[in-house]
Amino acid sequence: MDLRNGLRPLGSTPAEFEQDLLSNLYYRRGTTVESASAQDAYETLALTVRDRLAARRARTAAAHYESNPRWVYYLSAEYLLGPQLEQNLLYSGTTDLAPAALKALGFSPEEVAALDVEPGLGNGGLGRLAACLLDALATLDIPAVGYGIRYDLGIFKQEFQNGEQVERPDDWAFQGDPWEFPAPDDWQTVGFYGFIGPEGWVPGEVVHGEPSHLLVPGYGTETVNIVRLWRARAAQASFDLRRFSAGQYAEAVQDAVRAENISKVLYPDDSTDMGRELRLKQQYFLVSCSLRDIVRRFRFRNSDWADFPAKTVIQLNDTHPTLAIPELMRLLVDEERLEWEQAWSLVRSTFAYTCHTLLPEALETWPVEMLGRLLPRHLEIIYKINAELLDEVRSRFPGDVSRVRRMSLIQEEPERRVRMANLAVTGTFAVNGVAELHSQLLTSTTFTDFAELWPDRFTNVTNGVSPRRFVRLANPGLSTLITSGLGSDAWLRDLSLLSGLAPLADDATFRSQWRAEKRRAKAALGLGDPGAMLDVMIKRFHEYKRQQLKLLHVITLYHRLRSNPGAFGVPRTVLFGGKAAPAYYAAKSIIRLINAVSATIAADPVSSGLLRVVFPANYNVTLAEKIIPAADLSEQISMAGKEASGTGNMKLALNGAITIGTLDGANVEIRDRVGADNFFLFGLDTPAAAALRASDYRPRSVYDADDELRAALDAILGGAFGGVGQDVAQSLLDRDEYLTLADYRSYVDKQDEVSAAWQDQEQWTRMSILNTANSGFFSADRTVADYLSRIWHATPVRPA
């Protein structure tokens, strides 16, 4: 008899849920109703909800085992999963049961919900994309596992002190993480350093990777997948009792500390050699643990290596996990004793690579010296792959020496370094960009030589976002309205159905309900007057994203307000959100200047009720879910040709914000879909921006020729904003790397059109509804469907 058939199903009535909550409080949390704290209640609730998903997980795993399917493995250094409680309540169908049960036991549901901590295991778009793709994979019933690192400290917490960004450690799992299943017995061994002896690589340092997993439920289906995160532990006996007894307490644990540092923080500061080496260690740690786990799972049902690619596709999320390519070669050749050619053919049929950037400086390279010291055998393997690559290039393009130099996996000048992107393209069967324009630019600029050698390898998969998290959970009021407008909530699993809202843009009652939802979301955000236009720029701080352009516009508005308050048409609240990398001084200067401008405007009575600048600290998924529903205007104003895709742009459009943007990244596709009339386009396009950059561009002439621009920059230079930001203004005048001044006039004029449009609220609402109605394409479900048909070729497996 299969015992699983006798598993007691977990109940779905209020009484059963309450019973389970109580029994978990007693038996698993070990406390009582009388003495339970809010934390006890939160953790008990998490267990009660998690159990319901775990039951589905067990059925999913059984179905996967039974069908021995092709697996999609997603390797990513980052996951921005967002808060788990609300999502898991929704996906387990317990959203209504939970608060009632908590109240019945005397707890405040709000107080309990507030204890849910967001695991900040990523930086921004790339990490959040990884989380949205996992959500869609489970929703589409695809057998998939996400692999990552369980950083002790996630992305830093941002605070402002005197307007400056200060970074605080984010000890997100300080209380433990009730959503997580630790599986310390599944540990893997990872080697570093050492030498290559007659028997092969002998590592000089060994650490353990201990996994734990979080459940990744699908929406509207039984499937529950997992994301498996590795944590570094010292191999046994690292505690030196002799030293401890001698009073050398720090020295006694130094080996353990060194090992555990590997999963201590996301992106350790890489301004020192030590920091850079730690990053490389993290990358290999992730790859080595995950590949061994993948092989272990392959072996449950398979024994012939020739079947590996038929059962396994491994997606490399950017170059961070690229060491997986030489690592799988090492496992196959050194440990499994396969011939090099067979191993290489398996590797090249297993991996695929997503590139997320166009910035040349973001393409990772590692010093040959460092890589060879940390991973001597991998460097050998990389050299051999390179020799074969260059032979192929030479035979296809005889005599083209400079091509050989460009395509080599090894950069020679000014220092010998391994080019990870070239390795990623060479060791995979598919390479994709993340929006149409980006994928075109990859083959026409970044990877031209490779695209000429292997044209079929390159493809596009435009990014998408989870409508469950970013509409249903973030914006419940609007979701209810959409469902009533469409007559069903099927749009949550098929977002193209949103197109059914388009006719409602002409329905005055629906428009007024739509406006009421925006106002409600603005009121809930509590930042500014719900009658004012909420103009938002939320994303990481980077000069290419051009927060400085938005700021120049704000200063221009302020100057107009001061010179003629009576003529200031539309009240605006301008909201910035985002973090700067701790060592990125230019970005931090922009943050400081924004806070200074905000303070100056707030202190001036003339701006009262007309212009505000708000900058809530610590932009993360939790905050995004509050801001996005409230936004009226979405700022997507990067220099054309720099933003690979953007995903915030999609989330905002889906929630009815209208975009002001350049023709960059996925903005192009958003505009195509929502219609040029419902999108505020400005600025240079990619060819024009590239041409201007290549010419003798003089930002100072632009400054000389534009009175408002000159006034804005002069105000900063003259110390009008608390005397800060001169460095920002100076760098715009001297270099203006990202053509901020060149696009200023076009941007400010377009913003005047935005203000004029806002004055016709009926028309604005029509545009807002049409943005939502025509953004169904940007569902992560569609993205995953594209990955499946273009790259992964895996099929759904549904639990019985």
Residues of this chain that bind ligand GLG (CB under 6 A): 124-126, 129, 356-357, 434, 463, 643-647, 665
CB of 621 to ligand PLP, least distance (A): 5
Catalytic residue among 52, 356, 403, 671: 356
Amino acid letter, residue 606: V
Pick the stretch among 9-17, 134-142, 595-603, 616-624 that binds ligand PLP (CB under 6 A): 616-624
Task: Give dist(CA 719, CA 723) in Å, integer.
Answer: 4
- Of 747, 716, 740, which Cα lies nearest the Cα of 592? 716
Task: Give dist(CA 87, CA 102) in Å, integer.
Answer: 17
Task: Give dist(CA 165, CA 737) in Å, integer.
Answer: 23
Encode 241-271: b = buried (16+ Cβ within 10 Å), e = exposed: eeeeeeeeeeebbebbebbbbbbbbbbbeee
Which residue number, 188 or 620, has a Cβ lying nearer to ligand PLP? 620
Catalytic-residue membership of 319? no
Q: How many C-beta neighbours within 10 Å does residue 22 have? A: 17
- Of 162, 167, 168, 156, which Cα lies nearest the Cα of 595? 162
Which residue number, 381 or 525, has a Cβ lying nearer to ligand PLP? 525
Which residue number, 120 or 799, has a Cβ lying nearer to ligand PLP? 120
CB of 643 to ligand GLG, least distance (A): 5
Amino acid letter, residue 132: C
**E strands present in 385-477:** 410-411, 417-419, 430-433, 458-460
624 makes contact with ligand PLP (CB under 6 A) = yes
624 binds, among ligand GLG, ligand PLP, none (CB under 5 to 8 A by kind): ligand PLP
Question: Is the separation of the CB atoms in 777 and 44 below 8 Å?
Answer: no
Q: Which of 225, 350, 647, 783 binds ligand PLP (CB under 6 A)?
A: 647
Which residue number, 548 or 645, has a Cβ lying nearer to ligand GLG? 645
Question: Is the separation of the CB atoms in 561 and 609 below 8 Å?
Answer: no
Question: Is the separation of the CB atoms in 188 and 289 below 8 Å?
Answer: yes
120 makes contact with ligand PLP (CB under 6 A) = no
Question: Is the separation of the CB atoms in 522 and 571 below 8 Å?
Answer: no
Which residue number, 357 or 775, has a Cβ lying nearer to ligand GLG? 357
CB of 643 to ligand PLP, least distance (A): 7
Which residue number, 42 or 619, has a Cβ lying nearer to ligand PLP? 619
CB of 654 to ligand GLG, least distance (A): 15
CB of 213 to ligand PLP, least distance (A): 23
Q: Is the dihedral of CA 443, 449, 455, 458 positive or negative?
A: negative
143 binds, among ligand GLG, ligand PLP, none (CB under 5 to 8 A by kind): none
CB of 78 to ligand GLG, least distance (A): 9
Residue 583 token pair: 């060592």
427 binds, among ligand PLP, ligand GLG, none (CB under 5 to 8 A by kind): none
Which residue number, 424 or 434, has a Cβ lying nearer to ligand GLG? 434
Catalytic-residue membership of 798? no
How far, rounded to the nearest angstrom, does the alpha carbon of residue 325 sit from its chain's CA centroid? 23
Q: Which residues contact 393 (CB under 8 A, 6 or more apart)?
A: 400, 403, 404, 407, 449, 453
**E strands present in 16-156:** 71-75, 79-80, 120-121, 144-149
379 binds, among ligand PLP, ligand GLG, none (CB under 5 to 8 A by kind): none
Distances (CA, A) of 797 to 139, 221, 495: 11, 11, 22
Task: Give dist(CA 775, CA 655) in Å, integer.
Answer: 9
Which residue number, 602 or 681, has a Cβ lying nearer to ligand PLP? 681
Which residue number, 226 or 644, has a Cβ lying nearer to ligand GLG? 644
Q: Which of 83, 124, 433, 464 binds ligand PLP (CB under 6 A)?
A: 124
CB of 125 to ligand GLG, least distance (A): 3
Which residue number, 446 or 463, has a Cβ lying nearer to ligand GLG? 463
Chain position whose Cβ is nearest to ligand GLG: 125
What is the footprint of ligand PLP within residues 78-97 (CB under 6 A)? 80
129 binds, among ligand GLG, ligand PLP, none (CB under 5 to 8 A by kind): ligand GLG
Task: Give dist(CA 684, CA 739) in Å, integer.
Answer: 9
Catalytic residue among 647, 662, 772, 783: 647
Catalytic-residue membership of 539? yes
539 makes contact with ligand PLP (CB under 6 A) = yes
Q: Which residues contact 573 (CB under 8 A, 6 or more apart)?
A: 527, 528, 529, 532, 533, 534, 535, 612, 613, 614
76 makes contact with ligand PLP (CB under 6 A) = no
Catalytic-residue membership of 311? no
Helix (H, G, I), strand (E, B) or coil at 205: strand
Distances (CA, A) of 606 to 64, 529, 558: 65, 16, 9
CB of 401 to ligand GLG, least distance (A): 33
Which residue number, 130 or 720, has a Cβ lying nearer to ligand GLG? 130
Q: Please, where are the H alpha helices in 68-96?
A: 85-91
Catalytic-residue membership of 157? no
- Of 682, 678, 654, 680, which Cα lies nearest the Cα of 765? 678
154 binds, among ligand PLP, ligand GLG, none (CB under 5 to 8 A by kind): none
Which residue number, 305 or 584, has a Cβ lying nearer to ligand PLP? 584
Amino acid letter, residue 214: L
621 binds, among ligand GLG, ligand PLP, none (CB under 5 to 8 A by kind): ligand PLP
Question: Is the separation of the CB atoms in 130 and 146 below 8 Å?
Answer: yes
Catalytic-residue membership of 64? no
Catalytic residue among 157, 539, 612, 642: 539
Summary count for the chain: helices (H), strands (E): 34, 25
Q: Which of 50, 231, 356, 651 binds ligand PLP (CB under 6 A)?
A: 651
620 binds, among ligand PLP, ligand GLG, none (CB under 5 to 8 A by kind): ligand PLP
661 makes contact with ligand PLP (CB under 6 A) = no
Pick the stretch among 268-276, 613-621, 699-707, 730-738 that binds ligand PLP (CB under 6 A): 613-621
Amino acid letter, residue 180: E
CB of 666 to ligand PLP, least distance (A): 8
Pick the stretch among 46-54, 215-223, 504-512, 642-650 that binds ligand PLP (CB under 6 A): 642-650
Catalytic residue among 518, 651, 671, 673: 651
Q: Which long-range contacts (CB under 8 A, 24 or more apart) does 160-164 make?
A: 160/591, 160/595, 160/615, 160/617, 163/591, 163/592, 163/595, 163/596, 163/599, 163/722, 163/724, 164/588, 164/591, 164/592, 164/595
463 binds, among ligand PLP, ligand GLG, none (CB under 5 to 8 A by kind): ligand GLG
Task: Give dist(CA 175, CA 93) in Å, integer.
Answer: 26
CB of 359 to ligand GLG, least distance (A): 8
Total interface residues for ligand PLP by CB under 6 A: 13
Pick the stretch among 151-159, 272-280, 407-415, 618-626 that binds ligand PLP (CB under 6 A): 618-626
Chain position whose Cβ is nearest to ligand PLP: 648
Q: Which residues contact 777 (CB under 8 A, 6 or more apart)?
A: 462, 464, 495, 496, 669, 673
Which residue number, 293 or 664, has a Cβ lying nearer to ligand PLP? 664
CB of 42 to ligand PLP, least distance (A): 23
Query: What are φ and ψ of residue 13, in 5° steps?
Result: -90, 160
Catalytic residue among 208, 540, 588, 750: 540
Residue with tokens 């998924």: 621
Catalytic residue among 457, 545, 612, 642: 545
Which residues belong to the active site?
A: 356, 539-540, 545, 647, 651
Residues that bind ligand PLP (CB under 6 A): 80, 124-125, 128, 539, 619-621, 624, 646-648, 651
